[in-house]
Structure 1
């Protein structure tokens, strides 16, 4: 670790941990889409929207703290990048749920549950890892596993696209479902950006 003569603002750690825990909440709300009756999806979307608003508030709090702090625990651009990537995850998950409701999708494509499983696991790993930013220790397995999960998400996404374009769906339904599975893939990509940013921080601070 670098030796510093000036005290560091430590509230960032708590805010990042809270933001990551909110992603766990969002991913679990996302799982409720599976098997839910179309009539119940509006409530799921409302709760996901509330989680997304909480995520926005957490991100704004981090940015405010960043702008108010003279000394930060690690590079300012990395704080910004980490907060933005966490926010991107929630935005993508919320978009997927909202699209299901707005497009009045009745049946989700088979295999989308594997996309959601990946997001739930990535959220749990991120929430478990975030408190360890304080010490920058025992984080290597975290970013390796999230990168593995993102590769898995890519494979699931490609299979879903192949399924959508195999001629079993009407053209308008293909467009609707593709936008939903693309949003879930964006969430997986954003989780990888979170992990890559944490790796960058650890390398810089070691």
Structure 2
């Protein structure tokens, strides 16, 4: 019956393009973050952080469009709750990346440690997988791509937890400046929260996969 229903359901021309825009945008944000943290040039870092802010606003507009379509359309490509949850999770990733970058600038953090760069690298990998998985929602022809991406995202989040915990432990062991410790810890935890939101998005994708594959 589910296959028959899909046959008669009009092809989605609204939600999928918006989700693909959101996936592509959050990948761009993660890449800009990695570049911002990797560069030693403080002026270039400011430029990348400004680009992150711009892309975060783009993501907000896409999320708003998804919610607007959700309020206007009775028939949706998959469960309304999953649409809302996936859009929210992707938006949250962008928000936490933006918060991390903004705090680095606001707190005037110039010493970017290896742990921050590693977390940014993991975010790029996770957002790459998220972008690939979202594209596969268009047809569900390659469900293995979605499933494998979700596994890698979950693994990435576990790695991020470890990297963050070790980095904070070392801060308490070696950082003698209490203010610097607080600033570094705040950024590390915000970056780690961005990876948590990647895992949230993967969990929604797995839910969609189970219901629709």
Compute the TM-score of the two structures, normalised by the length of structure 1.
Answer: 0.94
Tell me what 1:26 maps to.
29
2:195 corresponds to which of 188, 193, 198: 188
Whether 1:156 aligns to 2:163 is yes
C-alpha contact (below 8 Å) 2:39/2:45 kept by paired residues: no
Name the structure with the higher helix share.
2
Tell me what 2:128 maps to.
124
Gaps of 5+ in 2: none
Question: Offset at 1:146?
Answer: 0.7
Compute the TM-score of the two structures, normalised by the length of structure 2.
Answer: 0.92
1:13 corresponds to which of 13, 16, 20: 16
Q: What does 1:1-206 correspond to in 2, within 5 Å?
A: 2-4=3-5, 5-7=8-10, 9-32=12-35, 33-136=37-140, 137-138=143-144, 139-206=146-213
Q: Deviations over 1:147-200 (max 9, x none)?
A: 111111111111111111113241000111111111110110000011100000
SS at 1:166 equivalent: helix
Gaps of 5+ in 1: none
Aligned residues: CA RMSD = 1.4
The worse-fitting range, judged by mean Cα deviation, of 37-46 and 121-130 is 37-46
Distance 1:74 1:197, change over 3 A: same
The one of the two structures with greater contact order (alpha-carbon pairs below 8 A, sep at least 6) is 1
